[in-house]
Amino acid sequence: MPSPKSLHFAKKSVGVGLKDFEQQIDMPRMRQHRLAQLQAQLHRLDYGGAVLYDPINIRYASGSRNMTVWTLHNAARYMFVPTQGKCILFDFHNCEHLSDGLETIAEVRPARGWFFFSAGNRLQEKAEAWAKEMAELFRQHCGANKRIAFDHIDPPGCRALEKLGYEIKDAQEPCELARVIKSPDEIACMLHAIAVCEVGMARMREYIEPGVTEQEVWSVLNDTNNRMGGEWIECRLLSSGGRTNPWFKECSEKIIRPGDLVSFDTDLIGPFGYCADLSRTFLCGPSKATEEQRRLYGLAMEQIHYNIDLVKPGLSFKEFSEKAWRIPNEYHANRYSCVAHGVGMCDEWPKVTHAPDHARSGYDGELKPGMTICIESYMGAEGGAEGVKLEQQVLVTETGCEVMTVFPFEERLGG
């Protein structure tokens, strides 16, 4: 269970109304911090600048947002981030006004859409016109440095820029590494998202009864997030009864029955664009938990708290993998995909693998104060009847870590 110190920390989440008598989130300060973090990474890698299409990267660097989910799959909006100075945003048709007042942005221009939906059989023509405009921008802001990073770029635009002498680099590395250490303002935003998520989880818990469907329960979380200023939810991971094993089934029209376990993972992007990534498993009454359900829950609790206790600054990812709670053989095949992962405006670097997976897919690094990570557990035997999903979001501190959620575990299952 969270320590009293953890609960004290998590209860520091702030309101968002403007007040003149208490500390509030300083949005301009947060935006300036985030842009500086990204530009430091660009400077470290000796890039002239970066062109960002991913709306989460754009949001991080500038605070600007517009049609986030739509622009995740339509390249209709992008931003140039120079290694020094303010950003230049290329926004969707007639949307320039949406970034008025943002001190991180020097100029807003109309975007050139050269993805197929927008350009059709003129795609090559439009990609070349886009490349010429960008090359002129690079000459103005990057000088002789022709190393430009992109988080996404389709082949026609890539080839057009390469013909003009530019060296295309990957922007995801500097974007991910910039986001690793959270400022106090970012942590406050994240705590607010978690508080909204916990309200949704509490309402879900009250709503679960025999006869409701998985989708109805999931809609409660969506509704709460929308009503309280949240933005979207990354997945639809909620299942009940026999659908809880194996994991990763999305919610369905299955009717929840007495005695079913109901497992879910929130993946919620709340107010201000920060993620609350929490998992719980509930029991649908009025039935009592079976011995097998309590055993699964007890193992998941043991795993998640054992691994939380390992978290401290200086711990390498490889060492974390090696020291992590050992999953019994019966549950190894259905193990969750990682021990832990970073979290910020979405799931972020790093990913800490299980020890048996490290040689194949792991990488190293170390935990540092100011990082926020999620500790994962899924417990379900291969071919078993049910499974239990738990997850906690924590802040790495100078001496260890602080749990960021106060939402309780399920007492009827042994939590």
Domain boundary among 114, 143, 178: 178
- Per the structure block, which two tokens stand in for 150? 């992109």
In a domain, 31, yes or no: yes
Of the pLDDT bands very low, low, confident and very high (cuts 50, 70, 90), residue 107 is very high
In a domain, 71, yes or no: yes
Number of H helices, E strands in the chain: 14, 17
Contacts of 401 (CB under 8 A, 6+ apart): 308, 311, 312, 394, 395
| Sole residue written with tokens 């679960």 | 208
Instruction: Give the per-residue pLDDT at 16.
Output: 63
Q: Which helix (H) or strand (E) holds 140?
A: helix 123-142
Instruction: Give the per-residue pLDDT at 15.
Output: 62
Q: Judge if 155 and 205 occupy the same domain.
A: no
Share of the chain above pLDDT 90, in %: 94
pLDDT digits (tens, 9 = 90+) for 8-25: 667 666 666 666 667 789
Residue numbers of the domain that contains 158: 27-178
Residue 398 has pLDDT above 90, yes or no: yes
Instruction: Give the per-residue pLDDT at 6.
Output: 58
How far is it, in rounded angstroms, from Cα 160 to Cα 146? 14
Q: What is the CATH number of the domain that holds 158?
A: 3.40.350.10
Strand partners, 148: 49, 168
Contacts of 156 (CB under 8 A, 6+ apart): 114, 123, 124, 127, 128
Q: What is the CATH number of the domain that holds 232?
A: 3.90.230.10
Contacts of 296 (CB under 8 A, 6+ apart): 379, 380, 386, 387, 388
Work out the angle between the directed axes of helices 184-207 and 214-227 (0-180°, nearest 10).
140
pLDDT digits (tens, 9 = 90+) for 286-333: 999 999 999 999 999 999 999 999 999 999 999 999 999 999 999 999
Of the pLDDT bands very low, low, confident and very high (cuts 50, 70, 90), residue 403 is very high
100 vs 2, which has greater pLDDT? 100
In a domain, 13, yes or no: no
Domain boundary among 178, 200, 228: 178
In a domain, 20, yes or no: no
Give me the number of domains the chain comprises. Answer: 2
Give the ranges where 165-183 is alpha helix by DSSP (H).
172-178
Residue 5 has pLDDT above 90, yes or no: no
Q: Judge if 311 and 162 occupy the same domain.
A: no
Domain boundary among 162, 178, 194: 178
Instruction: Give the per-residue pLDDT at 315.
Output: 98
As a whole number, mean pLDDT of residues 30-38 equals 98
As a whole number, mean pLDDT of residues 79-87 equals 98
Q: Judge if 133 and 236 occupy the same domain.
A: no
Residue 228 has pLDDT above 60, yes or no: yes
Residue 59 has pLDDT above 80, yes or no: yes
Residue 241 has pLDDT above 90, yes or no: yes
In a domain, 132, yes or no: yes
Q: Judge if 262 and 196 occupy the same domain.
A: yes
Instruction: Give the per-residue pLDDT at 126.
Output: 96
In a domain, 397, yes or no: yes
Instruction: Give the per-residue pLDDT at 14.
Output: 63
Instruction: Give the per-residue pLDDT at 191.
Output: 96
Instruction: Give the per-residue pLDDT at 12.
Output: 67
Instruction: Give the per-residue pLDDT at 13.
Output: 67
When the pLDDT of each residue in the chain is averaged and rounded to a whole number, the result is 95
Q: Judge if 281 and 363 occupy the same domain.
A: yes
Q: Kindly provide the b/e burial profile for residues 127-161, where b requires at least 16 CB atoms within 10 angstroms of the residue's own CB.
A: bbebbeebbebbeebbeeebbbbbbebeebbeebb
In a domain, 18, yes or no: no
Instruction: Give the per-residue pLDDT at 415.
Output: 79
Q: Judge if 123 and 222 occupy the same domain.
A: no
pLDDT digits (tens, 9 = 90+) for 125-184: 999 999 999 999 999 999 999 999 999 999 999 999 999 999 999 999 999 999 999 999
pLDDT digits (tens, 9 = 90+) for 267-299: 999 999 999 999 999 999 999 999 999 999 999
Q: Judge if 127 and 209 occupy the same domain.
A: no
User: pTM of the prediction?
Assistant: 0.94
Q: Judge if 85 and 144 occupy the same domain.
A: yes
Q: Judge if 168 and 40 occupy the same domain.
A: yes
pLDDT digits (tens, 9 = 90+) for 337-358: 999 999 999 999 999 999 999 9
pLDDT digits (tens, 9 = 90+) for 370-387: 999 999 999 999 999 999
Residue 411 has pLDDT above 50, yes or no: yes
In a domain, 19, yes or no: no
Q: Which helix (H) or strand (E) holds 168?
A: strand 167-170
Specify whether the CB–CB gap between 228 and 271 falls below 8 A: yes
93 vs 415, which has greater pLDDT? 93
Instruction: Give the per-residue pLDDT at 22.
Output: 72
As a whole number, mean pLDDT of residues 25-54 equals 98
How far is it, in rounded angstroms, from Cα 119 to Cα 108? 21
Q: Which helix (H) or strand (E) holds 296?
A: helix 291-310
Of the pLDDT bands very low, low, confident and very high (cuts 50, 70, 90), residue 1 is very low
Instruction: Give the per-residue pLDDT at 2.
Output: 47
| C-alpha of 261 from chain center | 26
Instruction: Give the per-residue pLDDT at 8.
Output: 64
Q: Judge if 119 and 188 occupy the same domain.
A: no
Q: Judge if 251 and 377 occupy the same domain.
A: yes
Specify whether the CB–CB gap between 233 and 269 falls below 8 A: yes
Q: Judge if 192 and 106 occupy the same domain.
A: no
